[in-house]
């Protein structure tokens, strides 16, 4: 079961989340979302736990709990929504001044 963990402090690390969630069961994966340009935390993460009962226990225990000065939001992750890709970019451009 994949859990969404939101309202994270920018100082929170994947290891912090691993340690926190392991108190409630086996953690399969922790993925802290970061900005691709600055590599700084975006304030949320996904934690995957194989056992649904353990994941539900972690969700119940940790939703609303404080970590690094912030109150966590923990719930089941929803599938990512497909967003339309922006148009433009790439391709050949012709400018009136370049015509011969």
Q: What is the CATH number of the domain that holds 39?
A: 3.30.70.330
Domain range for residue 27?
Answer: 2-69
Segment 77-89 mean pLDDT? 75
Confidence band, pLDDT 50/70/90 cuts, at residue 79: confident
Residue 94 pLDDT greater than 70, yes or no: no
| Closest by Cα among 35, 41, 38 to 12 | 41
Q: How far apart are CA 62 and CA 23, in angstroms?
A: 10
pLDDT digits (tens, 9 = 90+) for 45-72: 999 999 999 999 999 999 999 999 999 9
Q: Is residue 76 part of a domain?
A: no
- pLDDT for res 5: 98
Nearest residue to 53 (alpha-carbon basis) of 26, 16, 15: 26
Number of domains in the chain: 1
pLDDT tops 60 at residue 29? yes
Helix axes 52-62, 14-22, angle to 10 degrees: 110
The reply to whether 85 falls in a domain is no
**pLDDT score recorded for residue 86:** 72
Residue 79: inside a domain: no
Bridge partners of 34? 41
In a domain, 48, yes or no: yes
Residue 34, pLDDT score = 95
Across the chain, mean pLDDT equals: 89
- More confident: 74 or 92: 74
Task: Let me know if residue 9 belongs to a domain.
Answer: yes
């Amino acid at each position: 079961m994949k859990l969404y963990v939101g309202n994270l402090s920018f100082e929170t690390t994947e290891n912090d989340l691993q340690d926190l969630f392991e108190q409630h069961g086996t953690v399969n994966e922790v993925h802290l979302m970061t900005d691709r340009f600055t590599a700084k935390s975006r304030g949320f993460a996904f934690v995957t736990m194989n056992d649904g009962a353990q994941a539900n226990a972690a969700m119940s225990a940790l939703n609303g709990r404080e970590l690094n000065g912030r109150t966590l939001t923990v719930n089941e992750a929803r599938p990512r929504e497909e967003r339309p890709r922006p148009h433009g970019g790439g391709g050949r451009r012709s400018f009136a001044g370049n015509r011969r």
